[in-house]
């Protein structure tokens, strides 16, 4: 099939604005992520190279969200320009319908949707896996990365810590709560402390200054009688071994649902269903998250097509090109879409609604609207805009 001049013209008209808008939206998302994480990424002796790697892995994971937005805004701008410059009227007067004008860009959208699915299935899980590995390495070499001021943090299993202020690895007003090997409670309160990681054996050493140690002990194991001791100290050195290192170290075997591709997700879901592991609330939640992640592999590619079918007729209707007016309209549509997506996903993760319903509700809402708008625009039924 030979490509006609109109098709080449539409493709050339679409590609340059699309890439420029795509890069712009991508940078905006990256800046927003960096500013939201700036307190955790800076001031903790973490090298700029590691920070850049974190930002890179995040950038890979947001591509499924950036692509539909870029398609929506580009289609509004392109068809808004065509309509404003009377080019659509000229094309229609030659006997070519608006839908025929949309076909070459619609074909590109289909290709982008397929590429987005493949990217989500092969590249993003690997990026998330590397991000998990990088996060684990940072937790060993920079345990203070997880610490947050005035908030209890589960630094590792059975260990909780709260600090008022942190300056590099120097801690102020430290409150530590942990269980020993006999599941007995131990509490440490100190004015100052230093956190010293040991990357060789994966242990963490706390050097605490001016504080109190409270610990429980068994006095009679059979009768389950306890005693406690309260010790004031000037300097206390406490070592903590992270016992979960062997399990977390090999993250290729760590079945976290966001690092799985389509095949592994299906296998995991079938395994849960066959073993009837959804009998407890925790397992039911995890199963819902697995099913939601599987559905998201397909929803975002379909969203790309819906956003184009929404943006192209909108551009022809409003007859406004440029950046300002189309950006406002695209932003409103994106906010509505993202709000629906967030609400439904939260309900799925709480097992309140079915996973496929929660994943597809935004597309179910927008698809008939986009088809109706495309149909009405093609048959010139929006009289209010055609005056």
Distance of CA 275 to the CA centre of its chain: 30
pLDDT recorded at residue 42: 65
pLDDT recorded at residue 79: 92
> Mind spelling out the 3-state secondary structure of the chain?
CCCCHHHHHHHHHHHHHHHHHHHHHHHHHHHHHHHHHHHHHCCCCCCHHHHHHHHHHHHHHCHHHHHHHHHHHHHHHHHHHHHHCCHHHHHHHCCCCHHHHHHHHHHHHHHHHHHHHHHHHHHHHHHHHHHHHHHHHHHHHCHHHHCCECCCEEEECCEEEEECEEECCEEEEEEEEEECCCCCEEEEEEEEEEEEEECCCCEEEEEEEEEEEEEEEEEECCCCEEEEEEEEEEEEEEEEECCCHHHHHCHHHCCCHHHCCHHHHHHHHHHHHHCCHHHCHHHHHHHHHHHHHHHHHHHHHHHHHHHHHHHHHHHHHHCCCCCHHHHHHHHHHHHHHHHHHHHHHHHHHCCCCCHHHHHHHHHHHHHHHHHHHHHHHHCCCCHHHCC
Angle between helices 281-318 and 355-378 (to 10 degrees): 10
Instruction: Output the six-digit token pair for 243.
Output: 């016992």
Beta partners for residue 166, in sequence order: 171
pLDDT recorded at residue 283: 79
Q: Within 10 Å of residue 113's Cβ, how many Cβ atoms?
A: 22
pLDDT recorded at residue 253: 39
pLDDT recorded at residue 156: 74
Please name the residues in contact with 258: beta carbons below 8 A apart, sequence gap of 6 or more: 125, 128, 293
Distance CA 53, CA 46 (A): 11
pTM of the model: 0.78
Distance CA 287, CA 290 (A): 5
Q: Within 10 Å of residue 115's Cβ, how many Cβ atoms?
A: 13
Q: Please list the pLDDT of the chain residue by residue as tens digits (387 residues).
A: 456 888 999 999 999 999 999 999 999 999 988 888 776 666 666 778 888 888 899 899 999 999 999 999 999 999 999 988 888 888 888 888 888 899 999 999 999 999 999 999 999 999 988 888 887 777 666 666 678 888 888 877 788 899 998 876 689 999 998 887 776 788 999 999 988 877 666 678 889 999 999 988 766 555 566 678 888 999 998 888 765 444 444 433 344 778 889 999 999 888 888 777 666 777 788 888 899 999 999 999 999 999 999 999 999 888 777 788 888 999 999 999 999 999 999 999 888 899 999 999 999 999 999 999 988 888 875 543 444
Contact 257/289 with Cβ under 8 angstroms? yes
Rounded to 5 degrees, what are φ and ψ at 205?
-110, 130
pLDDT digits (tens, 9 = 90+) for 170-184: 899 999 988 877 767
Distance CA 352, CA 329 (A): 32
pLDDT recorded at residue 69: 95
Distance CA 276, CA 102 (A): 48
Contact 68/307 with Cβ under 8 angstroms? yes
pLDDT recorded at residue 2: 55
Token pair 């609330």 in the structure block, residue:
281
pLDDT digits (tens, 9 = 90+) for 126-158: 998 888 888 777 766 666 667 888 888 887 778
Distance CA 296, CA 12 (A): 31
Beta partners for residue 239, in sequence order: 205
pLDDT recorded at residue 387: 43
Contact 228/217 with Cβ under 8 angstroms? yes
Q: Within 10 Å of residue 235's Cβ, how many Cβ atoms?
A: 10
Please name which of 251, 299, 327 lies closest in space to residue 113, comparing C-alpha atoms: 299
Contact 204/141 with Cβ under 8 angstroms? no
């Amino acid at each position: 099939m030979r490509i006609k001049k109109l098709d080449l013209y539409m493709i050339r008209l679409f590609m340059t604005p699309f890439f420029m808008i795509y890069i712009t939206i991508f940078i905006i998302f990256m800046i927003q992520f960096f500013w939201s994480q700036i307190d955790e990424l800076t001031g903790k002796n973490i090298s700029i190279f590691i920070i850049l790697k974190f930002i890179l892995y995040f950038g890979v994971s947001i591509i499924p969200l950036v692509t539909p937005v870029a398609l929506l805004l580009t289609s509004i701008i392109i068809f808004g320009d065509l309509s404003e410059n009377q080019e659509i009227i000229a094309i229609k007067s030659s006997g070519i319908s608006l839908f025929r004008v949309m076909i070459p860009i619609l074909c590109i959208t289909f290709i982008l949707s397929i590429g987005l699915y493949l990217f989500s299935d092969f590249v993003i899980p690997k990026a998330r896996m590397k991000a998990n590995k990088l996060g684990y390495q940072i937790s060993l070499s920079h345990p203070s990365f997880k610490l947050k001021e005035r908030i209890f943090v589960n630094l590792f299993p059975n260990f909780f810590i709260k600090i008022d202020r942190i300056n590099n690895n120097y801690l102020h007003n430290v409150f530590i709560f942990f269980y020993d090997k006999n599941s007995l409670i131990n509490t440490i309160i100190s004015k100052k402390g230093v956190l010293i990681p040991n990357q060789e054996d994966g242990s963490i050493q706390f050097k605490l200054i001016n504080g109190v140690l409270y610990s429980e002990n068994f006095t009679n194991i059979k009768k389950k009688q306890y005693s406690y001791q309260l010790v004031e100290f000037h300097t206390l050195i406490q070592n903590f071994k992270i016992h979960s290192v062997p399990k977390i170290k090999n993250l290729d075997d760590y079945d976290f649902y966001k690092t799985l591709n389509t095949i592994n997700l299906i296998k995991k879901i079938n395994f849960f269903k066959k073993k009837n592991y959804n009998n407890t609330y925790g397992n039911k939640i995890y199963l819902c998250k697995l099913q939601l992640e599987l559905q998201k592999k397909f929803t975002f590619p379909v969203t790309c097509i819906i956003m184009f079918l929404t943006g192209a007729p909108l551009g022809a209707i409003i007859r406004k090109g440029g950046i300002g007016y189309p950006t406002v309209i695209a932003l409103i549509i994106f906010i509505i879409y993202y709000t629906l997506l967030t609400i439904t996903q939260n309900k799925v993760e709480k097992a309140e609604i079915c996973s496929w319903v929660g994943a597809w509700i935004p597309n179910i809402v927008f698809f008939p609207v986009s088809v109706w708008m495309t149909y009405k625009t093609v048959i010139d039924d929006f009289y209010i805009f055609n005056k």
